[in-house]
Amino acid sequence: MLTPNTPLFLPKLFDHIAECLANFLEKLGIKNQKLPLGFTFSFPCQQTKLDESILVSWTKGFKSHGVEGRDVVSLLRKAIKKRGDFDIDIVAVINDTVGTMMTCGYDDHHCEIGLIVGTGTNACYMEEMRHLELVEGDEGRMCVNMEWGAFGDDGALDDLRTDFDREIDAGSLNPGKQLFARRLHKMVRRLVPDCDVRFLRSEDGSGKGAAMVTAVAYRLATQHAERQRILDALRLSREQLLEVKRRMGEEINRGLAKESHDQATVKMLPTYVRSTPDGTEHGDFLALDLGGTNFRVLLVRVRGGKRRSVEMHNKIYAIPQEAMQGTGEELFDHIVHCIADFLEYMGMKGASLPLGFTFSFPCHQNKLDQGILLKWTKGFKATGCEGEDVVSLLKDAIHRREEFDLDVVAVVNDTVGTMMTCGYEDPLCEVGLIVGTGTNACYMEEMQNVELVEGDEGRMCVNMEWGAFGDHGELDDFSTEFDRAVDDCATNPGKQRYEKLISGMYLGEIVRNVLLEFTAKGLLFRGKLSERLKTRGIFETKFLSQIESDRLALRQVRSILQHLGLTSSTCDDSILVKEVCSVVARRAAQLCGAGLAAVVDKIRQNRNLSELKITVGVDGTLYKLHPHFSSIMHETVRDLAPQCEVTFLQSEDGSGKGAALITAVACRIRDAGQR
């Protein structure tokens, strides 16, 4: 064995191998070509990668000096380089047992074990990565060279050895080594009756097998490079994220300024919410929450004073597709029908209560109890609503029903409701963020900067409507062909471009488009597409959260793929799908973090502070349920806004409780003004 002081001479064995190789290439007339080479080296080796193999010990009568403890690939490369008359790309060094498995695996895809019983004996098989503690990572499988010939060297087989075995051992070149006894077909079937074992004879495993491993390694390396090239378009550098932050900052200023507001993509809409709860609010309030495919009606009981509390009762109703995409009258009649059902359910039929309406779509407000719908998002397309006051549409529907009357006090965006709910718990909460079906943010802006509203005193919550950031091309250089495919097929092409890179409604569809590209190029699912995967929307965003869960085994990822019609997907396919999900979700979290970094830095600069301490109230299923989204987003904000100490507080029902709190605050202020 080598010591640190042993001179590293080149063993003659490798000079001889290089000479044989040169003669062979010359005979075939290909000596001037640089070809990939697979090196079958059938001795116990320690491998850290495919093209590196440290000889542990010689067996089978070999005793060439200066090789044990050294990388045999390096030794062969040096011998070839010393000759200088040909060049070879050594791609893989393998054991003959592995070569045997690979050769038979070419003919039979069920072949996952290799066995040699000849001059020597050995076996290899495909082991789960999670069991291989010598190699990092626990995804997929790896072929393990057992070197089982040494089984018994510790005396484990002594009670099976006969005098004849001991005599043969004593007269061998390596007495006390390689004592494994050989029995096969019948014995294997007898010992593992539950396994259907088929034996397939290999044809030249050490030669053909080495070439097979080399060919597979070449294919895998080429495919890996192509996959990474495609995925690199979805990976953002720190410089790119800083640029997103800078552009968001520019759009914030354009949206606030009267002169540029109409052209700005980030609309920075005034909400007329100027105060957070002070603890004196009390009373019963109704809240409506319309922000997606479900609609909620809530009764919120607010108790003030020392024992202040908020007690809530609610009921969830579905919004049918025909109401979402029919007429405005049909949509608001359905909403009023749900309110009537809820009041009856609560035993309050005919009651008249102050109401806060969480309406989570872009609105222009001139006062707290008015909201002009600018445009539908999130798949809604009800006619006769855009450009109209949603409070008037709601009141008209209530009057058509003629059963009850309600005092609509406030129209609230879910993001503002989130900020108010968290502000009830933490006075430092001055930012609201939603990352769910859609995405949006709001924050407390200085009145002097809100040019759309008269007055310079105090602050007002501004609803950013940041989902439309990028609608004028601000994000084109960060968008990929997959984003463009998702946008082209959406109900609102060219709109909500930032939201389409971030929110739960679109991430699954981005992943599906990447998987389609991979499969079309033969990089996934063996190039075979399932009809289901061709279906828009079939890859739900919840699958991203499930697939990226650290607790989910690869077999469970495969069950999700089988649900998508990919019944023959492999373990490797599962690993690749997981990587695609990870890259898409990471980019979404980073882009969201870059936008938020622009917001908190704006607040810090508004207040001329070198350091800002602030809390962000957050809601939304993507933020709450995805296993890594929140941590990546937090990390991005810390990195891009280092002068801001940002705390994140998860909102508990901002769109319901928040609407009631805003209504309660408005009633308190209104009542105080009437005294």
**Residue 79: partners with Cβ closer than 8 Å, 6 or more residues away:** 10, 14, 15, 17, 18
Give the pLDDT confidence score for residue 177 in this predicted structure. Answer: 62
State the DSSP code for 327.
B
Give the pLDDT confidence score for residue 70 in this predicted structure. Answer: 92
CA dihedral 439, 227, 477, 592 (to 10 degrees): 20
Residue that is written with structure tokens 């190039």 in the block = 527
pLDDT higher than 50, residue 662: yes
Mean pLDDT confidence for 54-80: 89
- Nearest-angstrom CA–CA distance, 500 and 492: 10
pLDDT higher than 80, residue 593: yes
DSSP states along 371-430: -EE----TT---BT-TTSBHHHHHHHHHHHHTS---EEEEEE-HHHHHHHHHHHH-TTEE
Q: Report the chain's mean pLDDT, rounded to a whole number.
A: 88
pLDDT higher than 90, residue 45: no
Give the pLDDT confidence score for residue 8 in this predicted structure. Answer: 41
More confident position, 209 or 454:
454
Query: What burial class does residue 83 get, using C-beta atoms within 10 Å of its C-beta: 0-12 exposed, 13-18 middle, 19+ buried?
Result: middle
Give the pLDDT confidence score for residue 129 in this predicted structure. Answer: 85
Place 640 in a pLDDT band, splitting at 50, 70 and 90. Answer: very high
Query: What burial class does residue 624 get, using C-beta atoms within 10 Å of its C-beta: 0-12 exposed, 13-18 middle, 19+ buried?
Result: middle
CA-based nearest residue to 378, from 296, 289, 467, 442: 467
**Residue 616: partners with Cβ closer than 8 Å, 6 or more residues away:** 422, 429, 431, 432, 433, 596, 600, 646, 647, 648, 649
What is the percent of the chain where pLDDT is above 90?
47
> Which H or E run includes 647?
strand 644-650
Place 430 in a pLDDT band, splitting at 50, 70 and 90. Answer: very high
- Nearest-angstrom CA–CA distance, 329 and 382: 9
CA-based nearest residue to 637, from 253, 236, 241, 251: 241
Active-site residues, by number, are 296, 360, 414
Mean pLDDT confidence for 403-412: 87
- Nearest-angstrom CA–CA distance, 23 and 474: 62
Give the pLDDT confidence score for residue 674 in this predicted structure. Answer: 63
Query: What burial class does residue 87 get, using C-beta atoms within 10 Å of its C-beta: 0-12 exposed, 13-18 middle, 19+ buried?
Result: middle
**CATH fold for the domain made of 12-129+184-219:** Nucleotidyltransferase; domain 5 (3.30.420)
DSSP states along 22-88: HHHHHHHT-TTS-EEEEEE--S-EEEEETTEEEE----TT---TT-TTSBHHHHHHHHHHHH-S--E
pTM of the model: 0.76
pLDDT higher than 80, residue 611: yes
Place 465 in a pLDDT band, splitting at 50, 70 and 90. Answer: very high
Mean pLDDT confidence for 494-523: 94
Give the pLDDT confidence score for residue 257 in this predicted structure. Answer: 96
Give the pLDDT confidence score for residue 673 in this predicted structure. Answer: 67
Q: What share of the chain is helix, strand, coil (3-state, %, to 5)?
A: 45, 20, 35
- Nearest-angstrom CA–CA distance, 318 and 297: 11
pLDDT higher than 90, residue 463: yes
**Residue 34: partners with Cβ closer than 8 Å, 6 or more residues away:** 87, 88, 89
More confident position, 555 or 517:
517
Please, are residues 391 and 369 in contact by the beta-carbon 8 Å criterion? yes
More confident position, 670 or 128:
128
Place 4 in a pLDDT band, splitting at 50, 70 and 90. Answer: very low
C-alpha dihedral sign at 661, 663, 665, 671: negative
pLDDT higher than 50, residue 180: no
pLDDT higher than 80, residue 119: no
504-520 and 208-232 helices, crossing angle to 10°: 140
Count CB-CB contacts under 10 A for residue 324.
Answer: 18
pLDDT higher than 70, residue 153: yes
The model's pLDDT over 243-267, given as tens digits with 9 standing for 90+, comes to 999 999 999 999 999 999 999 999 9
pLDDT higher than 80, residue 268: yes
- Nearest-angstrom CA–CA distance, 445 and 272: 11
Place 152 in a pLDDT band, splitting at 50, 70 and 90. Answer: confident
- Nearest-angstrom CA–CA distance, 495 and 377: 9
